Amino acid sequence: MLDLNSLKTIGRYEIGKKLGQGSKGTVYLGTDPYIERQVAIKIYRLPNDNVAKEVKKYKKKFFTEAQLAGRLLHPNIVTVYDADLYEDLCYITMEYVDGATFDKYCKPNTLLPVEKVLEMVFSVCKGLEYAHQNSVIHRDIKPSNIILSSEGQIKITDFSIAYVKRSQPTLETGIFGSPSYMCPEQIKEEPITERSDLFSLGSVLYELLAGLKSFDGENEYAIMYKIVNEDPPQIFDLRPELPKIIGEILDKALAKDPSERYQSAMDFAYDLRLALHDVQNTPKESLDSELLNYIQALPFFHNFTESQINEILSVTDVIKVEGNKTIIQEGEIDDPFYILISGQVVVRKGKKVVTTLEKGQCFGEMAYLTGEARNASIATKNECILLKFSSTLLDGLSEPIQLLFFKNFTQTIIHRLSGST
């Protein structure tokens, strides 16, 4: 068996000082001599098991982190470069981030300014939104898995127990994650979703603001009991100076029922941005600019340029609507149409549900195009963020933008007609 303490190289990589030790492996600072760059090397030891089936299973688990994180290329996610086996060891090489994990800023005497905390968690939301869009759920969001670099960048790391939605069911049963940051459904071994990560992130936000864990106890069982059955101490009892919206954000992120939580990381980020606006009195223009990259990734805007989206954001309304609220009423004469930024809406004709629309889709465009009464009712299934357009607004946009809207309306209508036949 190889002695990690005396190991100087692994594969082509030179091993330097130890950066950290976890239950799943040890992380070292390393060097890639081929391209002369520093890397972080996470080394796992294969189980001392004579059963070939178990060793094979462990290897498969090990490569999960490399396969998942390696396909996630985002400024707020640590980049994975390589993964391999070396004698009785497995190792992953990844981007080395010089900085500190969020743990450092979760203690009463090292708390950061509120606006800095909101900016940091906003960046985590951006990384999680990207991962979730790629069907990856992290399942272990906690302060020690998020890094604030010396240059001020936020990086999510450690996808070792992540889950790929719609993949083959290869995950073993049991409880995964770190007890203080688990969501109720993880503890109860119920299905997890993107909202599970958002509960964990809510716990991280609470700790960054309070300097205390949202759920703590004498042992893991006491902690898990509190997560399922109790609410955390009110943040205003610890930080009475915080704006009201921060309490509302924490209440929503830490809701026991997943349907009452934020439905997407984008939804979470939107409220963080509003809170940041309250704290810093940030002008609307700078808030709108944060939406740009996200909106560019929505299907409806795939053929719009950045400058065209900026023009749209300068005049349109971005609205947030609670779940189970009617947006469009069948039979009414009105011309606004909408594009879903996040959430879902349900389309009904009479009492019959026709379809459910997802983020990136538009609705209400037929009444705008024809000038006729609405032929269906549309209500939010859960909390939604929408772009709202009127005929006056669209008519005031430049001609190339109007043409793109009409082109995409046509494609949307054709797609819906083809799906109904």
pLDDT of residue 60: 74
Active-site residue identified among 32, 140, 267, 288 = 140
Kindly state the helix (H) or strand (E) to which residue 267 belongs, with its residue range. helix 265-280
Report whether 357 contacts 399 (CB < 8 A): no
Cα separation, 206 vs 389, in Å, equals: 36
Cα separation, 338 vs 327, in Å, equals: 9
Question: Given a cut of 50, is residue 171 above it in pLDDT?
Answer: no
Rounded to an integer, the average pLDDT of 55-80 is 80
Tokens of 11: 């594969």
Q: What is the 3-state secondary structure (H, E, C) of 352-364?
A: EEEEEECCCCEEC
pLDDT of residue 414: 86
Average pLDDT of the chain? 87
pLDDT in tens, 334-382: 888 999 988 899 999 998 999 999 888 999 988 888 888 888 999 999 8
Report whether 82 contacts 93 (CB < 8 A): yes
pLDDT in tens, 18-54: 998 876 688 999 999 999 999 999 888 877 666 666 6
pLDDT bin (cut points 50, 70, 90) of residue 302 is confident
What percent of the chain is predicted at pLDDT more than 90? 53
pLDDT of residue 196: 95
Lowest mean pLDDT among 43-57, 68-82, 107-121, 280-294: 280-294
Assess whether 140 carries a catalytic annotation.
yes
- Who has greater pLDDT, 310 or 30? 30
Lowest mean pLDDT among 39-53, 102-116, 235-249: 39-53
* CB neighbours of residue 346 within 10 Å: 16
* CB neighbours of residue 194 within 10 Å: 22
Residue 275 CB contacts under 8 Å (≥ 6 apart), including other chains: 118, 243, 245, 246, 249
pLDDT of residue 168: 42
The DSSP result for 124-192, as a single string, is HHHHHHHHHHTTEE-S---GGGEEEETTS-EEE---TT-EETTS-S-PPSS--S-GGG--HHHHTT---
Question: Given a cut of 60, is residue 327 above it in pLDDT?
Answer: yes
Q: Coil, strand, or helix at residue 288?
A: helix
Report whether 100 contacts 232 (CB < 8 A): no
Question: Given a cut of 50, is residue 173 above it in pLDDT?
Answer: no
pLDDT of residue 167: 45
Show the domains of the chain with their CATH numbers: 4-95 (3.30.200.20), 99-282 (1.10.510.10), 291-420 (2.60.120.10)
Question: Given a cut of 90, is residue 116 above it in pLDDT?
Answer: yes
Residue 307, Cα to own-chain centre: how many angstroms? 26
Question: Given a cut of 80, is residue 286 above it in pLDDT?
Answer: no
Calculate Rg over the CA atoms of the chain: 24
Q: What is the 3-state secondary structure (H, E, C) of 296-318?
A: HCCHHHCCCCHHHHHHHHCCCEE
pLDDT of residue 53: 66
Work out whether the CA dihedral 20, 75, 271, 196 comes out positive or negative.
negative
Mutual angle of helices 306-313 and 284-296, in 10-degree steps: 130
